[in-house]
A and B are shown apart, each in its own frame.
Chain A
Amino acid sequence: MWPAKMASPAASGEPKPAGQTAPKLSATDLNFYYGSFQALHGISMRIYENHVTACIGPSGCGKSTFLRTLNRMNESVRNTRAEGQIVLDGQDIHTLEVSEVRRRVGMVFQRSNPFPKSIFDNVAYGLRINGSFDRSALGDAVEHSLRRAALWDEVKDKLNQSAYGLSGGQQQRLCIARALAVNPEVLLLDEPCSALDPMATTKIEDLIFQLKSSCTIVIVTHNMQQAARVADFTGFFLLGRLIEFNETPVIFKTPAKKETEDYVTGRFG
């Protein structure tokens, strides 16, 4: 597909999609500490609606830590502390109920983690804990979520079977369906394809492409080609700092920073 028009970075001073002024989600001067260790140093990043933003960088660079701060998932880790601001649609997420933040900003992890339940109950889980018990409505919502996750045709005849019977790629799409069931506005994907074969990876990438029309996506990936394929914007992290953030083609064709150049060309270190 021919790329969507971006506003000129030179004109606006920062990369952003044409026609969007306010970001869906933004981090400003974000610091994060595991005990006395500072894992993130003054991260500022704007994430735009209906676009895919990728975070890349070597292991330990802070990209997954950053992702987990976006829905306050890091708060479940003991002895951690965040400073700075994360704003979702104009509201600081630390002023919202954590359950609301996690409903609006869903997450899918590196390893698929279906619950030891049926396929149906996995997808219905989030709806039930949000108070939805009507069987017919649940059925419709489960089907809708499985269709959005491009899994419906493969599982529609075995909804009551254990989710553990699915392949790795199907389990990961089930986890995406489970996250989609509560209609999140933002979906965080932490290395969603690292345990998948190339065909399952392609399905997830196609899914990401389809989902961005209804959802804002942030993906952490070690796979630079994957970032290049799926993301509209890419941020390069190193040692807890956001070194460079720009439209994805700029990062992979003409990065401005030497550190980015060294990383994407494999000359790092």
Chain B
Amino acid sequence: MRHFVEELEQLKTKLLEMGSLVEASIQRSILAVTQKDRNSAEEVFRNEARVNSIELEIDDFAINLLALHQPMAADLRLIVAALKINTDLERMGDLSVSIAERALSLMEGPVIKPMIDIPHIAGLVQSMVRKALDAFVMRDADLARSVLASDDAVDSLRTACYHELISFMEQDPSNIQQALNLLIVTRNLERIADHSTNVAEDVLFLVKGVDVRHHAESRA
């Protein structure tokens, strides 16, 4: 039994390593966009292989735990949550790569608008990722619920940004390339927020045993 508990701890540690790497990638990709920092973008690209490799390690480890120990109750919920969080973190890593690619493209063209909205969205998104991972570490259901509440704010900001960028494109077609890059950046930030929402939902399943996806709690 002690052996199994130690293996569960190893799973959590590995997932946190994955979380730290992905958080760093997100932060670097945002710096690449907002500070025009080519080095940060390149660091994101370097990180990607490691993120992918850890994703495979975690899946393999978790599947072995399921097969060999047939866990129940909180242990079962932890392993299922870890598998799902792992997938969400890897997708966040992919999205930060896409943001870094857009950052390089943005560096090639003119500045079409001051960087105000994107740092604002990015700050919210980073806070959501941080809180979702902290909620997992501390098994804090209240913190996880606060992540779910933040998602709407990101969606609203992203929609406002979308309309502004469309109007830039309509005013001057030479803005299209840069505006499209910024649209993709905001879209990817919003997707990262969605994945951190998924992580928070998995934490609620882990801690409380409730399924809040698609408003399942209100249907029950």
By Cβ-Cβ distance, the 9 closest A-B pairs, closest first, are: A254-B209, A264-B72, A252-B72, A264-B73, A266-B1, A265-B75, A261-B73, A265-B73, A255-B73
A228 cross-chain contacts in B, Cβ below 8 A: 72
B71 cross-chain contacts in A, Cβ below 8 A: 265
B220 cross-chain contacts in A, Cβ below 8 A: 8, 10
Q: How far is the CB of A238 from chain B (nearest CB, A)?
A: 15
Q: How far is the CA of A265 from the CA of B76 in the complex (A)?
A: 9
Q: How far is the CA of A266 from the CA of B71 in the complex (A)?
A: 9
A224/B1 contact (C-beta < 8 A), A253-B77, A254-B209 known: no
Q: How far is the CB of A183 from chain B (nearest CB, A)?
A: 36
Most buried by A among B1, B72, B209: B72
Q: Interface size on B (CB < 8 Å)?
A: 12
Contacts beyond the supplied A252-B73, A253-B73, A253-B77: 5 A-B pairs with Cβ under 8 Å: A225-B70, A260-B73, A264-B72, A265-B74, A266-B1
Most buried by A among B4, B71, B73, B209: B73
Question: Is the CB of A267 closer than 8 A to any CB of chain B?
Answer: yes
Contact surface of B with A, Cβ cutoff 8 Å = 1, 4, 70-77, 209, 220
Q: How far is the CA of A143 from the CA of B1 in the complex (A)?
A: 47
A253/B4 contact (C-beta < 8 A), A225-B70, A264-B72, A265-B74 known: no
Q: How far is the CB of A265 from chain B (nearest CB, A)?
A: 5
Q: How far is the CB of B78 from chain A (nearest CB, A)?
A: 10
CB 8 Å contact bits of A108-138 with B (1 = contact, 0 = none): 0000000000000000000000000000000
A224 cross-chain contacts in B, Cβ below 8 A: 72
- Assess the B72–A265 pair: CB atoms within 8 A: yes
- Assess the B209–A253 pair: CB atoms within 8 A: yes
A266/B4 contact (C-beta < 8 A), A8-B220, A225-B70 known: yes
Q: How far is the CA of A21 from the CA of B189 in the complex (A)?
A: 52
CB 8 Å contact bits of A237-269 with B (1 = contact, 0 = none): 000000000000000111100001100111100
Q: How far is the CA of A10 from the CA of B220 in the complex (A)?
A: 9
Q: Which residue of B lies closest to A254 (CB)?
A: B209
A interface, size bucket:
10 to 19
A261 cross-chain contacts in B, Cβ below 8 A: 73-74
B72 cross-chain contacts in A, Cβ below 8 A: 224, 228, 252-253, 264-265
B1 cross-chain contacts in A, Cβ below 8 A: 266-267
Q: Which residue of B lies closest to A266 (CB)?
A: B1
Q: How far is the CA of A8 from the CA of B220 in the complex (A)?
A: 8
A255 cross-chain contacts in B, Cβ below 8 A: 73
Q: How far is the CA of A8 from the CA of B74 in the complex (A)?
A: 22
Q: Which residue of B lies closest to A225 (CB)?
A: B70
Q: How far is the CA of A260 from the CA of B72 in the complex (A)?
A: 11
- Within A183-225, the residues touching B (CB, 8 Å) are 224-225
A254/B70 contact (C-beta < 8 A), A10-B220, A266-B1, A267-B1 known: no
Q: How far is the CB of A18 from chain B (nearest CB, A)?
A: 15
A8 cross-chain contacts in B, Cβ below 8 A: 220
Q: How far is the CB of A56 from chain B (nearest CB, A)?
A: 11
A254/B4 contact (C-beta < 8 A), A8-B220, A224-B72, A225-B70 known: no
Q: Which residue of B lies closest to A261 (CB)?
A: B73
Q: How far is the CB of A225 from chain B (nearest CB, A)?
A: 6
Most buried by B among A8, A254, A261, A267: A254
A225 cross-chain contacts in B, Cβ below 8 A: 70
Q: How far is the CA of A261 from the CA of B75 in the complex (A)?
A: 10
Q: How far is the CB of A193 from chain B (nearest CB, A)?
A: 16
Q: How far is the CB of A243 from chain B (nearest CB, A)?
A: 13
Q: Which residue of A lies closest to B76 (CB)?
A: A253
Q: How far is the CA of A265 from the CA of B1 in the complex (A)?
A: 9
- Assess the A254–B77 pair: CB atoms within 8 A: yes
Q: Which residue of B lies closest to A256 (CB)?
A: B209
- 11 residue pairs A–B, Cβ–Cβ below 8 Å: A10-B220, A252-B72, A252-B73, A253-B73, A254-B73, A261-B73, A264-B73, A265-B73, A265-B74, A265-B75, A266-B1
A252 cross-chain contacts in B, Cβ below 8 A: 72-73, 76
Q: How far is the CA of A253 from the CA of B78 in the complex (A)?
A: 11
Q: Which residue of A lies closest to B71 (CB)?
A: A265
A267 cross-chain contacts in B, Cβ below 8 A: 1
Q: Which residue of A lies closest to B4 (CB)?
A: A266
Q: How far is the CB of A264 from chain B (nearest CB, A)?
A: 4
Q: How far is the CB of B210 from chain A (nearest CB, A)?
A: 8
Q: How far is the CA of A172 from the CA of B75 in the complex (A)?
A: 34
Q: How far is the CA of A266 from the CA of B8 in the complex (A)?
A: 14
